[in-house]
Structure formats: structure tokens, C-alpha cells
Amino acid sequence: MRYATEPAHRHGHAPRVGVLLVNLGTPDAPQTDAVRRYLAEFLSDPRVVEIPRAIWLPILHGIILRVRPAKSAAKYASVWTQEGSPLAVWTRKQATLLQGYLGERGEQVVVSWAMRYGQPSMAAALDQLKAQGCDRILVLPMYPQYSGTTTASVWDGLSAWCATQRNLPEIRFVRQHHDEPAYIDALAERVQDFWQREGRGDHLLLSFHGVPERTLHLGDPYHCQCLKTGRLLRERLGLTADQMSLSFQSRFGKAKWLEPYTEATLKALAKRGIKHLQVFCPGFPADCLETLEEIAIEGRHDFLQAGGQRYEHIPCLNDHPAWIRALVDIVQRHTAGWPTTREDQPRPADLESQRLRALALGAQA
């Protein structure tokens, strides 16, 4: 094993904490070649496609990567922005805002972001954090609900990077946050803000990304965590079971995936007499191809064609202040015990002690 070249060890330097937000990934451009490179990396991950390599790789390289990139590139082009891929744009903004919010709370933390597939890579982002002197790093996958296909793959990427390092930083890893009160509150605030602007529809559909059903039977908790997120959000919004439903989107291949499928649900709701439908994607903290094209564009077409009259996609959490505050809460809890507070600013616990002493002195007077 040849390890990465390490900077000279600095004796006596103050410990520094880094936070790395990791999202799924995106091509560099809405072009066929760029999409092909991205899909080749994404679909080659055995966490994503659990088919024996000897069977899957010839299919991937012989068929899928010859046919799918051009179609996917056209879809990416329909949602691409002047700043770039929506997923990259929002993840970068989330990292910047998180850095600012943490700073307002007196936390001296370096926040960066990366993609599991594509750029910026996890390895490059981790190298950068280490170069900035971070010897303690919290890795936060941007997947609220744990799945072996997503969260565990981030761990694999982290482990692969660690295998190249001689001087390892201390690592902490956030496994899930599907039932975090602050996350549920952020989801509810996003929906309620939309209702205040646009009015409330006849029905709210929560669409989560799908995974093959066999993963559920093999012990993956993703399905159960999606259901729990949905239940907590429904209770927080004060909706009845008839006013909200849940489905799974982005099915790929011929295998059975988690049901009910979003496409079929959209058509069924229209035929049931729902005229005004609103769709929200709680499992996607940032708008991306799957929400902006599959839900906002294709989903609208499916619902209206089936007889619906009004269809609205509620934006993902993106840069909503409640979501950034939720990220702050998650980061502060998972970095507890690490030196993150500036030396020139009292810690929250110190401020509370000062307040209590002031009250006591006032009472004595």
C-alpha cells in the first residue's frame, strides 16, 4: 500500500473540526459524455446494483451506457441552471449556510461538501479538509433515511479514502436523521410556507426514492424509516390518513421495487376524484433531477392526463432556514465533546452559568 503524501506533522497546533456534507452525485454537464461517465461510476457501485458483477457489468457497458446517457442528458438539460446542476447548487449553498449558522452560534467548524459519484469527489473534499488542519471530521450523508444503497455507500467511499491515509483524522458518521424533530419541523414548515402562498390542495402525496423490494426483505430499514418520516410529518401537519399518502419513485429495471409506485399513485388519485394534488419529496433535502424533472414535469403530465385539474410540486428543503437550523442541531450533537467553540467566545454552557450567577446575585441584593 502506498499512502498519500502527508504534510509535516505540526506539534502543538489547535485541533480543528471539519464537517463534510455528502450527496449522491451529478454529471458535470447535461451532455451525453458527461452523463455516461457519471452513470458508469454510479451504476458500477455494488451497493447500488446488487447483481453479480459477471452478469451486470456486460449489461451496463454493453447496453445501458450505450442507450441511457443521451436520454438522461436531455432530462438534465431541462432542469440545468446557469449555476450548474441543481443538486450541486443546493448542496453547495447548504454547506455555505451551515458554516454561517454554526459561526453565529460560536462554532469554529470548517464545512465542505462532496458527491459520492462525480465531482467534487469525497476523496478530494476530505483531502482539502485535512489540508486545512482538520484532525476531526464529521461525515453527514444527505440521506435522511438510511439505506445500504446510499448511506452505506458513503461509508464505503469514506473507508476507501481512509485506506490511503497514513495519518488518519478522527471520524464520526451520521447514520440517519429520518425522525429528528428538527428535520420533521423543517419539512412541515416548508409545506406550510407553500400552503400560505399557493393554498392547500385536496391531497398531499409524499414521494420517496424507491429501492428494490428485496432490500427490505434482506434487512434494509429504508422502507420503515420512510413510513415513519411520513407518519411524523402527517401528524405534525395535522392531516388525516385520507388527506395524505406515500409512494416511491424512480424505479429502474424490471425487478419489483417498493410500492406503491409514484406514477401509478398519481393516476389513481386523479381517477379517485382528487382535483388539486400537491407532491412533496421529504427524502430529497435538495431539488435535483428526480424532483424537478420526474416529479414536477413528468408527474404533472401523468396526473393531468388521468383527469386531475391542478398539480403542484412543493420544493425540497433546499436553503429553507428551518432546514439549515436542523443541520446545525445535527452537527452540534454529533460533534459534542470536540473543540468547536472559539476560545474568545464563551460556550453556551458558560453563558448559562453566567446567567444563573447573575440571577443569584440579583436575588441576594
Known binding residues = 209, 290
d(CA 48, CA 64): 15
d(CA 179, CA 181): 6
Three-class SS state of 110: strand
Contacts 24+ apart (CB under 8 A), 326-330: 326/177, 326/180, 326/182, 326/183, 326/185, 326/186, 327/21, 327/94, 327/98, 327/101, 327/140, 328/98, 328/101, 328/102, 328/105, 329/180, 329/182, 330/140, 330/174, 330/177, 330/180, 330/182, 330/183
Three-class SS state of 263: helix
The single residue listed with the C-alpha cell 391542478 is 310
* Pick from 341, 332, 322, 348: nearest CA to 138: 332
d(CA 85, CA 290): 12
d(CA 313, CA 236): 20
- Cell readout for 253 is 429495471
Phi, psi of 139, deg, nearest 5: -100, 120
The annotated binding site for Fe(2+) is made up of 209, 290
Answer whether 36's CB lies under 8 Å from 72's CB: no
> What one-letter code names the amino acid at 142?
M
Sheet holding 109-118, edge to edge: 109-118, 16-26, 134-141, 170-173
> CA separation (Å) from 23 to 9, 285, 312?
31, 9, 25
d(CA 179, CA 172): 19
Tell me how far the alpha carbon of residue 286 is from its chain's centroid.
7
The single residue listed with the C-alpha cell 451532455 is 31
